[in-house]
Amino acid sequence: MFEKLKALYERYQEISLRLSQPETVGNQPLYRELMKEYSDLTPLIEKYKEYLKASESLKEAEELKQGESDREFLEMISEQYSSAKADISRLTEELKILLLPKDPNDDRSVIMEIRAGAGGEEAALFAHSLMRMYTMYADSKRWKVEILNLNETELGGVKEAEFSVEGAGAYSRLKYESGVHRVQRVPETESQGRIQTSTATVAVLPEAENAEIDIDPKDLKIDVFRASGAGGQHINKTESAVRITHLPTGLVVECQDQRSQQQNRERAMIVLSSRLLEKKQAELDKAYASERRSQIGTGDRSERIRTYNFPESRVSDHRIGLTLYKLDQILNGSLDEVIDALATADQAAKLAKEEEK
The pLDDT of 30-47, averaged and rounded, is 90
pLDDT at 139: 96
Higher pLDDT, 305 or 263: 305
Q: Rounded distance, CA 121 to CA 230, Å?
A: 13
Whether the predicted pLDDT of 126 surpasses 90: yes
Q: What pLDDT band is residue 328 in, cutting at 50, 70 and 90?
A: very high
Q: Rounded distance, CA 129 to CA 151, Å?
A: 14
Q: Could you tell me the sign of the dihedral formed by the alpha carbons of 163, 167, 168, 173, in that order?
A: negative
Question: What percent of the chain lies above the pLDDT cut of 70?
Answer: 86
Q: What average pLDDT is seen over the chain?
A: 84
pLDDT at 295: 42
How confident is the model over 235-283, as pLDDT tens digits?
A: 455 677 888 898 888 888 888 777 778 888 888 888 888 888 877 766 6
Classify 156 as helix, strand or coil: coil
Give the full edge-to-edge strand order of the sheet including 144-152.
144-152, 158-166, 110-116, 196-206, 179-185, 304-309, 314-317, 322-324
First to last CA, the chain: 13
Q: Where are the alpha helices (DSSP H) in 217-335?
A: 261-284, 286-293, 327-331
Question: How far, in Å, are 97, 147, 227 from residue 349 at the CA level?
Answer: 11, 34, 45
pLDDT at 2: 83
pLDDT at 291: 41
Higher pLDDT, 101 or 227: 101
Q: Rounded distance, CA 129 to CA 306, Å?
A: 14
Indicate the domain borders of the chain.
2-98, 110-348
CATH number for the segment(s) 110-348: 3.30.70.1660
Q: What pLDDT band is residue 228 in, cutting at 50, 70 and 90?
A: low
Query: How big is the CA angle at 17 (ends 15 and 20), to the nearest 5 degrees?
Result: 110
The pLDDT of 111-117, averaged and rounded, is 92
Can you give the pTM of this predicted structure?
Answer: 0.68
